[in-house]
Amino acid sequence: MPLRVAVFLALAVLTATGFLVFPGHTWLQSDTQIYVPILERLHDPRLFEREIIAQQPHVSYTLYDETAVWLRWITGQPFETVLAAQQIAFRFCGLLGAYLIASSLGLSWAGSLLVAACYGLGATINGPSVLTIEYEPVPRGSALGLTLLAAGLIARERYLWAGVAAGGALLYHVPAVYPFWAGFLVLLLRSKPGERRSRLRILAPVAAAALVLFLCAKLQHGVGERQAFFTTLDAEQARVMRERASYNWISLWAAHQAEQHLLYWLIAAGAMWRLRRRIPASLIWLMGGAMTAGLLSMPASYLLLEKAQWSLMPQLQPMRALLYITLAMVIFGSAAAVAAAERGRWWESALWLLPVFGVSVQTRTVWSLLDGSLRAATLTALGLAVAVALLLEAARRRPQAGRVALVAAAFSLAWLVPGFSGVRNYPPLHHAELDDVARWARENTPIDAVFLFPQAGRTLPPGVFRAKSLRALYADWKGGGQINFLREFLPLWRPRWEATLVRPFAGAADLVRFHSLGITHVITEKPVSGRAPVFANSRYHVYTTR
């Protein structure tokens, strides 16, 4: 079998294990709770006529919605299937990009595969609340996979194909790619004239992608969005945003989260310096610029959002660029470990691998590994770092058998990390009773029915119900996140939230009040005294408000 085919198959196996085992994937656990009603309404305008998040979409400046609707129309498959297929494809792109970066450093194909596997474990970026590998099929995850592929192609001097990948990333999620372009600008400024002409080839497909994005935004199917980019937040907007979306406000972050990103930047920069005799100059400036853009996003966000109150900042969410620092630390740290092993320094390999595994075995800050609160995770990171370092040393001594062992180790990480550390990337959410009540609502209530979970508070089951039942919710906490993107959403959502979900549910007396608000059905976990449910199972009771 040709080596190129074997590598592609190995990366496909890593993609599958990452999707099915660890870091895994979710559906209707986070932002898909928002995207699915929007997509369903774009697909069938009869749905969600009374759902405020579907009436106020924020998908004009992405081809995420058009692609999903087209694929559903062509294949006849539900959105869950067509979005999962895209998610798998873009995860493969990210792994291929990590492999190309590693191989551009002169590492063996087995060592490069190990680097890709380390990246494939994913990491939680504390503070801005983002991931290096998204669990859900959301635009940011698609764009990041394509952006990493573009970086790998630049490292291999395939600039035209890098432009195709970067253009695709732009089509999916503009805010996710700005650190890449910051790094590319640094690369152009550091290029010689002959190199600059070659590297500018990347701009042709990107310009075409930008034109397509502009035209699609102007010709948005169905209802478009009205966004104000050059205004300031009023006091009430800022107050609610600080409560509902505190991850955008660095002054509200937990202690030592900002320092963690500086530490990761130093480790990534140290790994790049250690690889300085191997690393292509294009990769130094590209990734170094992207990492630094991520680091600078913290003071920039503080000044532009918290001081200047610029309304674009909650939409752009610039501090999510910090994921480029962790991403670079994992890729270059694991590559430095492989390179150290080639020199017979297994202990140095273990030191580089320690932070690489440290970010994957926990979802809190790195400091939690030092205070003893995550003993199993700490021991897992240490054990894996030493074990893989010794395996790399064995591969140096016996290359043939060592390559097989490295491939086996790369495939095993997705089981070893959660198995020994006990890390859980996301809590269980779906259950049969929730599916049951959603199915009942979809089959037995009018298409314009409006539901409320008055006892749900800030929990996520209402959003799952909305997407599966294809019925509107009057208000829910997750849906309130749209205040980041649409200025007009706050006066729609906040009065609904405060009128129904802030105060304790008063039973039958509240049903009359809810009816006056336009709510047709209420779903509770406890029976309502004096009222007979129209549907009930072991967990939920459904009442009409008439």
The tens digit of pLDDT for each residue in 399-436 reads: 887 788 889 999 999 999 999 999 988 888 999 999 99
Burial 3-19 (b: 16+ CB within 10 A, else e): eeeebeebbebbbebbb
Residue 489 inside a domain? The answer is yes
Q: State the angle between helix axes of 64-75 and 32-43 in degrees (0 to 180), rounded to the nearest 10.
A: 60
Domain end position, chosen among 360, 395, 421: 421
- Do 452 and 304 fall into the same domain? no
- Do 443 and 313 fall into the same domain? no
Tokens for 157, please give them: 């001097």
Give the C-alpha separation, 391 to 332, whole Å.
19
Residue 304 carries which DSSP code?
I
CA 43 to chain centre: 24
Q: What is residue 12's three-state secondary structure?
A: helix
pLDDT at residue 397, rounded to an integer: 85
Cα 119–Cα 125–Cα 128 angle in degrees, nearest 5 = 145
| Residues in the chain, pLDDT under 50 | none
Domain end position, chosen among 394, 421, 448: 421
Residue 46 inside a domain? The answer is no
pLDDT at residue 219, rounded to an integer: 74
Residue 47 inside a domain? The answer is no
Residue 48 inside a domain? The answer is no
- Do 192 and 164 fall into the same domain? yes
State how far the alpha carbon of 5 is from the alpha carbons of 1, 27, 136, 148, 162, in Å: 7, 31, 28, 21, 21
**Bond preceding residue 23 cis, omega within 30 of 0:** yes
Instruction: State which residues form the domain around 494.
Output: 432-544
pLDDT at residue 367, rounded to an integer: 80
- Do 367 and 452 fall into the same domain? no
Q: Indicate the helix (H) or strand (E) that contains 331.
A: helix 323-342
pLDDT at residue 17, rounded to an integer: 97
Give yes or no for a contact between 142 and 173, defined as CB atoms under 8 angstroms apart.
Answer: yes
Tokens for 368, please give them: 């939690």
Residue 51 inside a domain? The answer is no
Residue 281 inside a domain? The answer is yes
- Do 354 and 404 fall into the same domain? yes
Q: State the angle between helix axes of 174-189 and 281-301 in degrees (0 to 180), rounded to the nearest 10.
A: 130
pLDDT at residue 417, rounded to an integer: 96
Domain end position, chosen among 382, 399, 421: 421
pLDDT at residue 136, rounded to an integer: 97
- Do 465 and 408 fall into the same domain? no
pTM metric for this prediction: 0.95
- Do 417 and 444 fall into the same domain? no
- Do 511 and 398 fall into the same domain? no
- Do 408 and 527 fall into the same domain? no
- Do 380 and 516 fall into the same domain? no
What are residue 524's DSSP bridge partners?
A: 541
Domain count, the chain: 2
pLDDT at residue 369, rounded to an integer: 83
- Do 83 and 216 fall into the same domain? yes
- Do 110 and 172 fall into the same domain? yes
Residue 49 inside a domain? The answer is no
Nearest to 453 by CA among 343, 323, 540, 331: 540
